Amino acid sequence: MQKTAIIAEYNPFHNGHLYQAKTARLETGADAVIAVMSGQFTQRGEPAAFNKFSRARAAVETGAIDLVIELPTRFGVQRADRFASAAVAIAERVGCQTLSFGSESGDVSAIRQAAKAEVESMPAYRDALQSALKDGVSPAKASSTAFASVYPDFDLTLPNNILAYHYAQAATSINLHTVRRLGAGYHDTGLADIMSATGVRAHYIEEGVVRAVPEATRTLFHQHTMAHWSRYWPVLQYKLRTTPQPVLDELVGIDASLSPRLIEAGLEPTFERALSKMLTRRYTRTAIQRALVSVLIHFERAELPARFDDVPYVRPLAFNSIGRLALKDIKKTVPLLSKYHPDLAFEARVTEAYRLPLGDESLREHVQTPQFIDSK
């Protein structure tokens, strides 16, 4: 069986995702398209607009995705290289022959060449990185600046190019395929038939209207409360005001320099005002949001994976009839978690932190099983 993987968050699944998945199926000759999808929180450190089970179901209901596999939170709420390493490892473990991804460049050979250049090992890169860090910029900005100074032929400042680059670095046995991104950019909030996920969410919050999504996604907006940071701020206020600084210092993404800022920000009345108090050249919005996820779920550094290319389980979230055949193929070589298992204890904790501010009493990790969707 020819299996093509797509690494995604589907936050939410929109028309651009639909185009990418259909194009990937056609151009890679896939019998099954498998999404490796983030859980309740995204790579950039935000609560996913809708819970992972609903997002997985919607993706399969479109007919463009046949099987959704979970990317666990400990691996998913990480910087791009770690996120990519874990997601690619899952795709390869389940026997996908091809990994398809969106990119601003649309040129898979350029992505491969950039990844093979081993820029990060060059003395000139390391010198430029240290110089940028000394100037007080964030590690991500310092890295992209240093990269551009050594290898200007590939733009590593664009979000999808960044992930594509790290996918190429992480790939060991899987072929690479890219689809050039259409329509709005990653952070673009403009209106179009193909909008960014950021734009879809922002337009709904501001106008109460859902645009540029398949019907399965539109249903999510009608059936569920959309999650966003403001709903979590009262819980975070409590935790930031009551957690001792030495305890905060032990959480992932937080150090002795950031923790006092977090504590002070906990006195602000709204999430956005708190965020504005914490933003600096060193601490970007993404870095702060990831730190806040750590506070919310109490993610200790001791709980970080020893290796990010070694995910301990494969867990299907939703599938259709083609996905069922893919699972039968995968089960021949890979154990699957289809029912609650002790390995899911961390995810159960994450789901509790995610669901309680939303008042969703139905969302319980230990009762969830993979969902079969007849998407014909």
**φ/ψ bin of 364: left (φ > 0), alpha (ψ from -120 to 50), beta (otherwise):** beta
H-helix or E-strand spanning residue 71: strand 67-71
Same domain, 18 and 83: yes
The structure's pTM equals 0.94
Q: Is residue 262 part of a domain?
A: yes
Residues 10 and 41 in one domain: yes
pLDDT tens digit at each of 376 positions of the chain? 999 999 999 999 999 999 999 999 999 999 999 999 999 999 999 999 999 999 999 999 999 999 999 999 999 999 999 999 999 999 999 999 999 999 887 889 999 999 999 999 999 999 999 999 999 888 888 999 999 999 999 988 888 889 999 999 999 999 999 998 775 444 444 546 789 999 999 999 999 999 999 999 999 999 999 999 999 999 999 999 999 999 999 999 999 999 999 999 999 999 999 999 999 988 999 999 999 999 999 999 999 999 999 999 999 999 999 999 999 999 999 999 999 999 999 999 999 999 999 999 889 898 899 999 986 5
In a domain, 252, yes or no: yes
Classify residue 310: in a domain, yes or no.
yes
End-to-end CA distance of the chain: 19
Domain contains 110: no
136 plus 198 within the same structural domain: no
**Residue 128 resides in a domain:** yes
Same domain, 216 and 238: no
Edge-to-edge strands, sheet with 3-8: 175-180, 98-103, 3-8, 32-38, 67-71, 316-319, 371-372
Q: Which of 281, 303, 325 is the last residue of a domain?
A: 303
- Same domain as 173, residue 315: yes
Domain boundary among 126, 150, 174: 150
Please state, in angstroms and rounded to a whole number, the distance separating the CA atoms of residues 136 and 78. 21
**267 domain residue, yes or no:** yes
In the chain, the number of structural domains is 3
Residue 90: which CATH number?
3.40.50.620
Closest to 79 measured CA to CA, from 137, 12, 138: 138
* 268 in the same domain as 221: no
CA proximity to 168, closest of 75, 72, 103: 103
Clarify whether residues 211 and 357 are in a common domain.
yes
Check whether residue 55 and residue 78 sit in a common domain.
yes
Report which of 18, 351, 20 is spatially closest to residue 216, judged by C-alpha positions: 18
Residues 22 and 97 in one domain: yes
Alpha carbon of 42 to those of 50, 77, 97, 302: distances in Å? 11, 6, 26, 21
- Note whether 127 and 163 are same-domain residues: no
The residue range of the domain holding 145 is 118-150
The pLDDT score that the predictor gives to residue 307 is: 97
What dihedral do alpha carbons 313, 317, 323, 329 form, nearest 10°? 20
Is 12 contained in some domain? yes
Classify residue 64: in a domain, yes or no.
Answer: yes
Whether 257 and 360 map to the same domain: the answer is no
Same domain, 245 and 331: no
Q: Could you say which of 303, 320, 355 is where a domain stops?
A: 303
Place of tokens 């809708």: 50
Contacts of 283 (CB under 8 A, 6+ apart): 138, 258, 261
